[in-house]
Amino acid sequence: MVQMNVHEAKSQLSALIAQVLAGEQVTIARAGVPVVDLVVHRDRQIVYGLGRGEAEFDPRLFDGRDAEVDALFYGPDA
């Protein structure tokens, strides 16, 4: 179990998140008194991209370019 004060936790947040994802228990304290625990979100899903079996591209979901969006990005003459 890892416990650290808020100030130190702020500067090491990325490392603390990695520890929690690896199964470590992390507690954040104020003046040495535990106040919160970092936990993995229950609905956490990570998809690392197409073509690896986690998801498939469905061309029916993409209907091409949108003239209104093009005008917003590139001007009315796009």
Give this prediction's pTM. Answer: 0.52
pLDDT in tens, 6-31: 999 999 999 999 999 999 999 999 99
Residue 18 CA to residue 23 CA, distance in Å, equals 9
Say which residues have a Cβ less than 8 Å from residue 21's Cβ, sequence separation at least 6: 40
Instruction: Provide the sign of the torsion angle of the four alpha carbons 44, 50, 53, 59, taken in this order.
Output: positive
Q: What is the CATH number of domain 2-38?
A: 3.40.1620
- pLDDT tens sequence across 47-56: 555 555 555 6
Edge-first strand listing for the sheet containing 33-38:
2-5, 26-30, 33-38
Domain boundaries, the chain: 2-38
